[in-house]
A = this chain, B = another copy of it.
Amino acid sequence: MPIVQIHLIEGRTVEQKRALVRKVTDAVCESVNVTPEHVKIILSDMARHDYAIGGVLKMDESK
């Protein structure tokens, strides 16, 4: 019954998300001995004005 939430900076394609949920599901199943249908994954996009490290919004990062 693992429930996984992944916060990502916005901009990933559906193709990347499709690969992400498949590979993360495999990783969970191999590690904690569950079957895939019990793994739920929520993807949450973060806009660049909604994520900060060190007190600086992603949109304001130099480089």
Residues from chain B with Cβ under 8 Å of A62 in the complex: none
Q: A3–B2 contact, CB under 8 A? A: no
What's the number of copies of this chain in the assembled complex? 6
Interchain CB contact (< 8 A) of A44 among B19, B49, B50, B58: B50
Q: A1–B32 contact, CB under 8 A? A: no
Q: A1–B51 contact, CB under 8 A? A: yes
Q: B32–A8 contact, CB under 8 A? A: yes
Residues from chain B with Cβ under 8 Å of A30 in the complex: 19, 23
Interface check A18, CB cutoff 8 A: yes
Q: How far is the CB of A46 from chain B (nearest CB, A)?
A: 6
Q: A40-B40, A43-B51 are in contact. Are A4 and B1 (CB under 8 A)?
A: no
